């Protein structure tokens, strides 16, 4: 089967790999129909995730059809259309039973990290009864794919950890896929204002379309002053950090008001300062973490009822054969106006899969940009 394989810092290949097989009774093999690239995959590509070894199939977000199940799988059978959670959980270890499957001692975020992942024609999903969710007929595969990681992450780690209340003033700092997912999810709680900060005008436009009431371009580094002015010096009730950078970490600390909450979603590859000397007196709560994806069933219901539409985060679609081109486009997300890219695993695109040379990639990108311009 074809798969995207990490080959060490700054090198991935689209290549032939052995098809996975059932190893445990609780496993399922899923034939991937759609997968996508996450910011975390870009961090892996840059060599920023030490647990990922060369030779690993990457990707932790996917939807597909169950191909086979182990003897212990009760809830799924071959032919079922499923969402694959980015979190693997045994359901019985101490952390799983405490409601923290993201810290499962036999799981957590392992797909496309310490075990082979979803950017492949087939993937082995351990503890399938806990890690798979059936896709109802009324929900498209593309929309379902947004529930593998980004929408639950925006909701659980941003909005719910931020304890957003009716009438709150909320700021989301960083309008990448997960920041925008938080903007979508925060609408469930009827905040008074949703202020979104980024330096990319296209992403700020999209933020407006999915529910931001105010957008601020921080290219001049004056977002803090603008937010304090907007709130009459009071600051915001909830500051959601969704970029994982020391600068955005500083911004959320400076805009949070008395009794406010900081919810950190961003993944940091370097340390960031925490200014307790100015925060302590304001009675601030700070939370951070990894998504548990326990909200997937609720999100499925809200999509079915028409209250949530994550399809608006999808900007690009590629056949799987062009996976490396998609990586290039995602790496230049600002220039390419890319948010969430879908990789379609239809048969034709897999057969044509090939490894591109540098100049071929440049040509493909030019063609792609021209096509988008039309």
Residues that bind Zn ion (CB under 5 A): 38, 89-90, 93, 96, 104, 149
Rg of the chain, C-alpha, whole Å: 20
Give residue 134's region: left, alpha or beta (phi > 0; psi -120 to 50). Answer: beta
Nearer to Zn ion, 96 or 195 (CB): 96
Q: Coil, helix or strand for 197?
A: strand
- What is the closest distance, in whole angstroms, from the C-beta atom of residue 100 to Zn ion in the complex? 9
Q: Which CB, 203 or 340, lies closer to Zn ion?
A: 340
- Measured distance between the N- and C-terminal CA atoms of the chain, rounded to whole angstroms: 34
Nearer to Zn ion among residue 100 and residue 214 (C-beta): 100
- Report the nearest approach of Zn ion to the CB of residue 281 (Å): 37
Element (H or E) spanning 182, and its range?
helix 177-186
Residues 288, 80: Cα–Cα separation, whole Å? 34
Residue 93 CB, nearest approach to Zn ion (Å): 3
Specify the length of the chain in residues: 374
Nearer to Zn ion, 133 or 189 (CB): 133
Largest CA-CA distance found in the chain, in angstroms, rounded: 62
Cα(164)–Cα(182) distance, rounded to whole angstroms? 11
Q: Which lies closer to Zn ion via its Cβ, residue 25 or residue 167?
A: 25
**DSSP structure class, residue 114:** T
On whether the CB atoms of residues 48 and 41 are closer than 8 A, the answer is no
Q: 224 φ, ψ to 5°?
A: -60, -50
CB of 148 to Zn ion, least distance (A): 7
Tell which residue, 264, 260, 232, 233, has the closest CA to residue 250.
264
- Residue with Cβ nearer Zn ion (62 or 81): 62
Q: Which is nearer to Zn ion, 203 or 261 (CB)?
A: 203
């Amino acid at each position: 089967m074809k798969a995207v394989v990490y080959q060490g810092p700054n090198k991935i290949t689209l290549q032939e790999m052995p098809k996975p097989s059932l190893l445990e009774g609780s496993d399922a093999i899923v034939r991937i129909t759609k997968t996508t690239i996450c910011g975390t995959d870009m961090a892996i590509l840059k060599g920023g995730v030490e647990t990922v070894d060369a030779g690993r199939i990457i990707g932790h977000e996917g939807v597909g059809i169950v191909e086979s199940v182990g003897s212990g799988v009760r809830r799924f059978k071959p032919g079922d259309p499923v969402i694959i959670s980015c979190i693997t959980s045994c359901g019985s270890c101490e952390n799983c039973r405490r409601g923290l499957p993201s810290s499962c001692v036999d799981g957590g975020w392992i797909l496309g990290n310490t075990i082979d992942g979803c950017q492949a024609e087939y993937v082995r999903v351990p503890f399938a009864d806990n890690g798979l969710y059936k896709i109802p007929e009324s929900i498209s595969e593309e929309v379902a794919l947004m529930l593998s990681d980004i929408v639950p992450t925006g909701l659980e780690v941003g909005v719910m950890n931020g304890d957003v209340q009716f009438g709150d003033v909320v700021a989301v700092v960083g309008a990448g896929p997960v920041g925008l997912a938080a903007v979508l999810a925060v609408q469930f709680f009827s905040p008074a204002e949703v202020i979104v900060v980024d330096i990319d005008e296209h992403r700020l436009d999209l933020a407006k379309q999915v529910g931001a009431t105010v957008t601020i371009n921080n290219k001049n580094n004056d977002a803090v002053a603008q937010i304090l002015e907007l709130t009459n010096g009071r600051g915001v009730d909830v500051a959601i950090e969704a970029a994982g950078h020391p600068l955005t970490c500083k911004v959320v600390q400076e805009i949070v008001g008395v009794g406010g909450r900081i919810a950190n979603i961003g993944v940091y590859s370097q340390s960031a300062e925490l200014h307790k000397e100015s925060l302590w007196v304001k009675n601030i709560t700070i939370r951070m973490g990894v998504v548990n994806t326990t909200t997937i069933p609720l999100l499925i219901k809200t999509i079915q009822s028409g209250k949530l539409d994550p399809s608006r985060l999808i900007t690009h679609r590629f056949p799987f054969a062009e996976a490396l081109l998609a990586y290039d486009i995602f790496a230049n997300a600002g220039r390419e106006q890319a948010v969430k890219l879908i990789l379609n695993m239809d048969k034709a695109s897999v057969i044509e899969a090939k490894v591109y040379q540098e100049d071929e990639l440049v040509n493909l990108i030019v063609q792609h940009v021209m096509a988008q311009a039309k």
